[in-house]
Structure 1
Amino acid sequence: MTLRDFQTTVLAHLSDVHLPPPSPLPSWRHFLNKRALSVVSWKRHRMHRHLPALTKAIETDMARHAPDLILNTGDLTNFGLAREFDAAASWLATMPAPCLVVPGNHDAMVSAPWETHAGQWGPWMEETDESHFPYCHVRDNIAVIGVNSAIPTPPFMACGRVGKAQRERLAAVLDATRHLCRIVMIHHPPRTGLVKWRKSLLDQRGVAETIARHGAALVLHGHSHDATLSTIRNTSIPLLGVASASLSSSRPWRQSGWNRIAVSRREEGWDIDLTTRQYTLDEGWRCTRRRNWVIRDEQH
C-alpha cells in the first residue's frame, strides 16, 4: 500500500441550481408546449424562491473547502432552452474545480436536438451523447458513473426513466470498476417514497436492482430538493440527496446546501466521510449532518 493509496479525495455534490433564465425570454413560439406551464410557475412562485445569491454563496463555500471534483446531479435550467444550456455551460466553466454533470427533468422539458441543448455540456459529461450513457470518469481511486434519467414528459409530470439499454451498460461499467470506489450520479432517486409518483423514476426498481446486484459505494441524486439520506432498497448502499443549491425555504431540509464527501482508501476498503452544509440568507451557514462509513472492498 502506497501513500497515494491512502490519499483523500474531496468531492462536492450539488444539484437543482435552476440558473436564472435569459431575459428577456425568447419568442412565444418556444413556449407552445409544456414550457408555457413552467413559465407561469416560474413567474408566480419559483423566481421568488430560487435565488442567485444562494447559488453564489454555495459556490464560494465550495471553493473554500477546495474540492478535487464537483458532482452536479442536474436541473441547471428551468425551461430547457438552448440559450439556458449555453449559459449553464459558461457557468460550469467558472466552477472552482473540475465538474461532472448529469441532466435533470428541467433539462429535458421537451424533445430537443442534443447538439444544441444538453450536448453543450459535453466537456462535463465525458463528451457522452444521449445514446451512450452512463459515462464513467476515473480520478485517483474513484469511478464516477453518470446515469441519464432525464426524459421529456407530459404536462404536470416530471418522471424519469433510465431504460433497459442504459441499465445493461450501467451493469457492465459497475463490473469493470469493481477495484475502484464506485459513485453513481443520477437525477431521479432510484427509490420510492422520496418524491411523488408524478416525479418518480419509472424504472426505479430495475435501476436499484442493477446497483444492488453489481455494487457501488454511494449513489447521489437530486430532484427532490431535500437533503435526505437513505439506502438502495435491500442493501446498505447509501443513497444521498441534496437540497436545491438555489432554494430559499422555511423547511430546514430544503434550505439551499451541498454535500462535502471525502473519500479515502483504507486497507479494508473505502472510508467515506460526509458533511452536509446548508445556508440561509438570514442565518448563514450551518452543518446539518455528519456521517462516516467504511465500504468494504469487494476484493477483500
Structure 2
Amino acid sequence: MSHEFPAETRTPRETRAITLAHLSDPHLPPPPVRWQDALNKRALSLLSWKKHRRHVHLAATCAAIVGDIAKNDVDAILVSGDLTNFGTPGEFALAANWLKQLPAPAMIIPGNHDCMIRQPAERGILQWKTWSAASYPYARIHDGVAVVGVNSGVPTPPFMAYGRVGRRQLARLEALLTRLGEAGLCRVVMIHHPPKRGLVTWRKALHDYRAFARVLRQAGAEIVLHGHSHDATLTHIPGTDIPLLGVASASLTDKREHRQACWNHLSIHPQDNGWAINMARHRPNGRITEKASWVRPRNSRT
C-alpha cells in the first residue's frame, strides 16, 4: 500500500496545514457472537457488554462524532484502537465496512479488545490492512507529516487488559522514527495503551512504557496519541516535552466531562524550522471544550 494519502488530498505543504481527526475506542455494536467464538476470555467480555457496556457505548454517539468530523473537512482520521468489543472475525468485518464509510481516509491500530485472544491474522487484524499494515510499526506520509502506527495489543489473561510493544517492535520503531526525523518529517505517533504511568490501572497499563519512552527520547517524535483510558487527557512522554494526547471513547456516555465522547482536531502548520501543532477537543455536538498548541522543532527528541 502507498505510504501517502490519496492523490487528491495532496497539495504543496507550504500552502496549507495538514488536519487530522483523532478518535478512539468506538466499540462498534457487535454482530451476534457464535457460541464457538465465546469459549474463552470473550465470555467474560460478552457478559460485561450485555450487563453494562452496551448501555453506555452507543452507536448514535459514535455517529454524532463522525458527523462532526465530516463538518470539519480533515485530511485523515486516526483511530487508536478498540473498534471491536470481543475481536471476533465478524466484528472485524463490520468495522472494515465502518472504516470504508468514514468521511476521510483512515489510519488505525488495534487495541486490547481487538487482540483479545490469539487467532489467525486473516480472521482478525489483516482484515484492516487497507487502513493499517501487515506488520508494525508502520508509517503513512503526507506533505511532511508521518503518522506512525504502533501495536500495543496483546492477548492477556482474564480480567487483564494490559499492553506491550515488545523488543522487536521497539527496535523497528526507533529505526523508523530516526529515519523519519532525519528526513525532516513531523512524526505523529499513535498507540492504544497510554505510555505513561498513572493514566490507567496496572492491569490496563502498557507494561513496557519505560522502554517505549526511552525510544522516543532517543529517536524523537513531535506528538503521541493514545486511547484505551476512555479519558480526555493531555500530558507528556516521561522525561521529555513530547505532548501525549489522550481521547475519550468515541461512543461513551458518561456524566463526567473528561470521559464524555469526543475527538481531537489536530492542525499541523509547517514552519521554517519545525511545526506549529494546534489541538481542539470536540464533543459530538461540535462544542469545543479544550484547546492547546505547541511549536515543535524539526527532528525533536525532547
TM-score by length of 2: 0.93
2:180 alignment counterpart: 177
Structure 1 match to 2:148: 145
Contact 1:5 1:141 in 2 (8 A): no
Cα contact 1:75–1:106 (8 A) shared by 2: yes
How much does 1:3 deviate?
Answer: 6.2
Tell whether the 8 Å contact from 2:266 to 2:278 is kept in structure 1 after alignment. Answer: yes
Shift of 1:161: 0.5
Per-residue CA deviations over 1:234-254 (Å, capped at 9, x if unaligned) read 110000000000000011000
Specify the SS of the correspondent of 1:19.
coil
Letter aligned with residue 17 of structure 2? T
What residue in structure 1 maps to residue 20 of structure 2?
A: 11
Deviation at 1:32, TM superposition (A): 1.0
CA RMSD for the aligned pairs?
1.3
Does 2:33 correspond to 1:25?
yes
Tell me if the contact between 1:6 and 1:264 (Cα under 8 Å) persists in the aligned partners.
no
- SS class of match (1:195): coil
Counterpart residue number, 1:76 = 83
Matches within 5 A, 1:134-283: 134-178=137-181, 179-279=184-284
Asked whether the 8 Å contact 1:54–1:245 carries over to 2, the reply is yes
Aligned partner letter, 1:13:
H
Percent identity of paired positions between Structure 1 and Structure 2: 51
5+ long unaligned stretches in structure 2: 1-10
Partner of 1:86: 93
Ranges of 4+ aligned residues in structure 1 off by more than 3 Å = none
Shift of 1:137: 0.6
Tell me the number of residue pairs that the alignment of Structure 1 and Structure 2 aligns: 288
Q: Secondary structure at the match of 2:217?
A: helix
Question: How far apart are 1:298 and its partner, in Å?
Answer: 3.2
C-alpha distance after superposition, 1:151-206 (max 9, x if no partner):
00000000100000000000011011111000100000111000000000011100
CA contact (8 A) 1:14 1:71 kept: yes
Is 2:142 aligned against 1:124? no
In the alignment, is the contact (CA less than 8 A) between 1:39 and 1:79 conserved in 2?
A: yes
Report the Cα offset of residue 30 of structure 1: 1.2
Contact 2:25 2:249 in 1 (8 A): yes
Match of 1:294 in 2: 295
Specify the alignment match of 1:37 in structure 2: 44
CA-to-aligned-CA distance 1:67-120 (integer Å, 9 cap, x gap)? 101100000000000000000000000010100000000000110110111100
Cα shift at 1:6? 4.7
**1:126-146 deviation line (CA, Å, top 9, x unaligned):** xx22xx310011011101100
- Secondary structure, in 3 states, of the residue corresponding to 2:288? strand
Amino acid at match of 2:299: E
- Structure 1 residues without counterparts, runs of 5 or longer: none
Q: Is the CA contact 1:221–1:240 (under 8 Å) kept in the aligned structure 2? A: yes
Q: Aligned-pair distance for 1:5?
A: 2.5
